Structure 1
Amino acid sequence: MRTKILLACLVLLAAACQPTKKKEESVSAPEKLTVPTLTKTWETVSTLKTPESVIYDEFRDVLYVSNISAVPPTAKDNDGFISILSTEGEIIEREWVSEISAPKGMGILDSSLFVTNIDEIVEIDIPSGVIIARYPIEGGAFLNDISISKGEEVFISDTGTNTIHVLNNDEVKTWLNDTTLVGPNGLLHQGSHLMVASYFGDEFSRIDINTKMKEVISDSIPGGDGIVAYEDHYFVSNWNGEVHFVDNFGNRTLVLDTKAEELNAADICYIPEKRLLLIPTFFGNTVAAYEVK
């Protein structure tokens, strides 16, 4: 009897000493991102003249639109101008600032509006609407977009020379010259890196600010034009008339296509607090606003 009891105790002791299996933790698959949709809310009357870029002035709650006017967009014909619009699409002042040949990308720093103009950067004093400085870029061929860093550096793309310049303390320097940029157009500065959309290629890329190493995020956006941040993701336009949503994993979805209407999609602007995506239609001579849902 004692033997049986002893054997039973040994069995129980051995079972207690066996390592227990750790309960497997359930790992849920990453939540699928919801692709935003665009619904048109307004469009200006078609009295603009080849609008290329639109930017939001948060302090004054207005929009500025660059108008190339007559083409080609490299002609030094001095017929370009900047318009002021309300955020409801009313043209407040059609020719607010003139004496510019082919204004394209824009950026706001303090009370100044910086605008590309073929081979120079034009600085406009916003309160007075007066051009207060011009910064010529030697060798500039097709200055296009502008993006301003938190450190107040003005980055400028030159689509014609595969170059990105930087304006800082009234001095222009070449930041990067690289044929693999394939016609850099749209720029978006984001702290440690610079997002770039190529016009002659189909690449949407990220460039490290410190190392200047380029990483291709998407390679299927031909004619790349404007870039805006949308939460942790991006909207990227191409001049042909498309807007793409690119998530932070590099997945791309076409969310707007106006090619059948023969409307371009140039340098876009997004106003998060109003959930409005603004699109200059270039030869359509309007700016269209879309609610982002």
Structure 2
Amino acid sequence: MKRLWLGLLCGCFSLTANADMTVENVGFATPESVEYSVKTDRYYVANINGSPFGKDNNGFISLLNPQGEVEQLKWVEGGKHGVVLNAPKGMVAIGNRLYVADIDRVRIFSLPEGKPLLEIPVPDASFLNGVTPASQGGVWVTDSGVKEGFKPNGKDAIYHISPQGELTTLVKDMDLGRPNGILEKNDELLMVTIGSGEVHHFDLKGKLLRSEKMPFNRLDGLIEDVTGKVIFSSWTAKAVLQWQDGEAPKALFENMQSPADLGLDSQRNRVLIPSFMENKVWIRDLQD
């Protein structure tokens, strides 16, 4: 396919005929997740900017438009305008709120303004990571249960946070395989793991229903596209893959270094893929 290279004042990206883009050289600093907001029709990129364990208040969130242009590199920035943001990871946009996992608490910012609204501490949490909407309202959030060096610390967990900020522990176990991406689908919670390379299925009361072992580990982002297909990323496979019960995962996009927490542009059926190590974001069209 013929590829056009366009240089922009805010950075550069590659553009193909089907609108696949790579946003790079724009100032991203350890981008861990990308989230799409239907309300604003914009992409939000969580930048750790240092250690994923560091409470250094220098994390930031970038604002992109669907053309791949950076409208504001530091739309929300730790240490500025009353914002505290250390090492932002998973995010989810629900209406006029953006929920952001930040080590041991979930922070909520307003959309489209980016003003800090609320923070919900999660006692005993060590590495809050994946976030997804809950059908009962609010969000589900995972704790990967790791400490410096990504060594397990026995704090693997799934929590629920209500729209009012009330915290409930759904699952807390010594070994869930280091939880990461999470998705509610068909009255189940699907959760992928970093260490064990599994997809766990829970009911909405926290009972483990079953688990599938993937052929690789270091699983990260987990989303559902507009057709209901489940998509996840794997650092080990260096790929973004499509998967359903009883079938082997199918690679959609390969040769990707450190593909982290995925987002979905539901208006255009695009997957949004941050490269944790390479400070870039891939925007890739999905097949209908």
TM-score greater than 0.5 by the shorter chain: yes
Task: For residue 42 of structure 1, report the CA deviation from its aligned partner.
Answer: 0.7
Distance 1:45 1:182 in 2: 32
Q: Does residue 1:48 correspond to 2:28, yes or no?
A: yes
* Dislocated runs of 4+, deviation >4 Å: none
Deviations 1:199-232 (A, max 9, x none): 1111012211136123113432400101111323
Name the SS for the 1:101 alignment partner.
Answer: coil
Distance 1:86 1:251 in 2: 34
Distance 1:191 1:74 in 2: 34
The residue type equivalent to 2:219 in the other structure is G
Name the SS for the 2:40 alignment partner.
Answer: coil
Deviations 1:159-205 (A, max 9, x none): 01211111112111211012342101000112411110001111012
Where in structure 2 are the equivalents of 1:7-26 lying within 5 Å? none
Deviations 1:111-157 (A, max 9, x none): 11110100111111123211121111111100001011132131110
The match for 2:53 among 62, 74, 78 is 74
Distance 1:232 1:95 in 2: 33
How many residues of Structure 1 are paired with residues of Structure 2 in the alignment? 251
The match for 1:181 among 176, 184, 190 is 176
Deviations 1:224-255 (A, max 9, x none): 10111132321110234321211243331233
Give the alignment's Cα RMSD to 1 decimal: 1.7
1:237 alignment partner in structure 2:
233
The residue type equivalent to 1:90 in the other structure is E
- Identity fraction in percent: 27
Task: For residue 277 of structure 1, report the CA deviation from its aligned partner.
Answer: 1.3
1:121–1:134 Cα contact (<8 Å) kept: yes
1:65 alignment partner in structure 2:
45
2:262 alignment partner in structure 1:
268
Where in structure 2 are the equivalents of 1:1-293 lying within 5 Å? 41-46=20-25, 47-70=27-50, 72-99=51-78, 100-160=85-145, 161-168=155-162, 169-210=164-205, 212-230=207-225, 231-240=227-236, 241-258=238-255, 263-293=257-287
Deviations 1:51-94 (A, max 9, x none): 11011111211011100011x20011111001110112100111
* Higher-Rg member (1/2): 1
The residue type equivalent to 1:222 in the other structure is N
The residue type equivalent to 1:188 in the other structure is L
Pick closer, same or farther for the CA change 1:162–1:154 going to 2, 3 Å. same
Distance 1:209 1:245 in 2: 23
1:269–1:279 Cα contact (<8 Å) kept: yes
The residue type equivalent to 2:29 in the other structure is K
Unmatched 5+ stretches in structure 2 = 1-17, 79-84, 146-154
1:157–1:185 Cα contact (<8 Å) kept: yes
TM-score normalised to the size of structure 1? 0.81
1:232–1:247 Cα contact (<8 Å) kept: no
Name the SS for the 2:118 alignment partner.
Answer: strand
Unmatched 5+ stretches in structure 1 = 1-38
Distance 1:172 1:210 in 2: 14
